[in-house]
Amino acid sequence: MWNRLGVLTDEVSVQLTEALDWIKEQQLAHVEIRMVDGHNIISLSDEQVQRVQEEVSKRGLFISAIASPVFKCALDPSRPVASGDTFGQKEESVEAHFDKLQRSFEICKLLGTKQIRIFSFWREVSPQQHEQEIVGHLRTAAEMAQKQDIVLLLENEPSCNGGFASEVARLTQLVASPNLKVLWDPGNEEYGGRNSYPAGYKDVQASLGHVHLKDALIDSDGVSRCVPIGSGNVPFKEQLQALQADGYTGLFTIETHYVPAGGTAKDGTALTLEGLKTIIKEAGLD
């Protein structure tokens, strides 16, 4: 599993070179790019993107995906919707997000990757009522991606309409394109109060394109929070063994979303990496 394991750089440090140096020291294989020196990857110039590629390559790493904010927006601003992290991006229209998608294609070419993480629009009060509209936009995006030889990865994100495994699986199945696959995040599933394994995994298994690794739990007072891998509710040993048994050959990316009290993002990711190492060994996947 180690030669398929990477991390989102800003889960280590907001400073790209500091993050990359640490990632190389940990002997990980790849990185996903979301924020670079405090700026969203989508907002960078060609020259800045090329610098990112150069810094990654000279450390012997590769870029697995762009962790874009595409479709973290409202389908209709006049309706009440949920919201979540936008990582430096302001609220914009669906049309503006299609422009972001087009820019993502250009950035992919500069970075030498063919995968873009996307979402399914801020969560409506009744997502199923808007399913046709959501699927229509995702189908258009997949058609655009097909022309560019890019795969879009639809993440289960509780603040979006595809908030859970069953929902992202259904959306990808309705779009029915090889250029739209599921980005499975079992930690997000547990954060949203759903069982990640075996229930969630069973839903996404047929549409799986990529895996994010984080752990989460819900406190006794009902508040969800992210924690280092191995200390939350995701049964990672069983989940990783199932992925292996089912022939998953894709990549894994650590996205800790945990900063210990008085510590740093790097500290939190280090704790998750140590927990993951233990689980990989126990699962016989080292």
Pairing of strands 115-118, 208-213: unpaired
Beta-sheet strands, E only, within the chain:
5-8, 30-33, 35-36, 39-40, 62-67, 115-118, 151-155, 180-184, 208-213, 215-218, 224-227, 252-254
The two three-digit tokens of residue 253, written as one number: 């990316």
Give residue 117's pLDDT: 98
| Nearest Cα to Cα of residue 213 among 232, 199, 198, 195 | 232
- pLDDT digits (tens), the chain, 286 positions: 999 999 999 999 999 999 999 999 999 999 999 999 999 999 999 999 999 999 999 999 999 999 999 999 999 999 999 999 888 889 999 999 999 999 999 999 999 999 999 999 999 999 999 999 999 999 999 999 999 999 999 999 999 999 999 999 999 999 999 999 999 999 999 999 999 999 999 999 999 999 999 999 999 999 999 999 999 999 999 999 999 999 999 999 999 999 999 999 999 999 999 999 999 999 999 8
Supply the pTM of this predicted model: 0.98
Beta strand pairing status for 208-213 and 252-254? parallel
**Interaxial angle between packed helices 265-282 and 236-245, expressed in degrees from 0 to 180 and rounded to the nearest 10:** 60
Phi, psi dihedrals of residue 140, rounded to the nearest 5°: -60, -45
Query: What is the model's pLDDT at position 13?
Result: 98
What whole-number distance in Å separates Cα of residue 8 and Cα of residue 23?
Answer: 10
pLDDT at residue 153, as a whole number: 99
pLDDT at site 166: 98
What domains appear along the chain, each with residue ranges and CATH number? 2-214+248-258 (3.20.20.150)
Q: ∠ CA(31), CA(203), CA(142), 5° rounding?
A: 60
